[in-house]
């Protein structure tokens, strides 16, 4: 079992690709109900995977067991679901989340803009739509849990180089 092996599973790869394509192309070219919900579903599948992978990477010396991975995945799913619900229910949380996304985007893309001589500028809040119907996407968290704990992922990644968690 490798730390974060589920990030390169079909569920992990499809969710991040869908999130990127939807947010950076589809929403601008085909706006509507479906594109509005695709990012929610993809993010709810992918984000718990990132949280569990981070805990596994920080636990390298402790070799987390399959039971610990299940526990981490339940916690990651619960934290993600709670945060998503709060962002959708409370406009103030949506603003905080939008600010955090703006700073993350600035940290990632700022150096590129500096190199291309357009300057780093500052962080700009990402618009987060306050829409309670987005809560219909919460069942996607179940897909994340299943992907993280799938035995087939461990069989595929079991022979790869990297930190092993057996």
Domain residue spans in the chain? Answer: 5-90+138-157
Residues (pLDDT < 50) of the chain are 154-166
pLDDT at position 88 is 93
pLDDT at position 108 is 79
pLDDT at position 164 is 43
Query: Do residues 88 and 135 make contact, with C-beta atoms less than 8 angstroms apart?
Result: yes
pLDDT at position 118 is 64
pLDDT at position 85 is 96
Q: Enter the pTM of the model.
A: 0.80
- Measuring CA to CA, how many Å separate 65 from each of 2, 60, 149? 11, 11, 11
């Amino acid at each position: 079992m490798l730390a974060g092996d589920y990030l390169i599973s079909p569920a992990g790869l499809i969710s991040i690709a869908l999130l990127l394509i939807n947010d950076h192309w589809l929403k601008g070219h085909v706006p509507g109900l479906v594109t509005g919900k695709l990012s929610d579903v993809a993010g709810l599948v992918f984000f718990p995977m990132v949280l569990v992978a981070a805990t596994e990477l920080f636990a390298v010396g402790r070799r987390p067991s399959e039971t610990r991975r299940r526990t981490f995945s339940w916690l990651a799913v619960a934290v993600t679901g709670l945060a998503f619900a709060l962002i959708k229910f409370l406009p103030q949380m949506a603003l905080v989340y939008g600010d955090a996304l703006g700073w993350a985007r600035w940290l990632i893309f700022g150096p590129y803009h500096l190199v291309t001589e357009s300057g780093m500028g500052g962080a700009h809040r990402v618009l987060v739509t306050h829409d309670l119907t987005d809560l219909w996407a919460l069942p996607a968290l179940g897909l994340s849990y299943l992907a993280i704990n799938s035995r087939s992922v461990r069989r595929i990644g079991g022979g790869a180089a990297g930190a092993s968690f057996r």
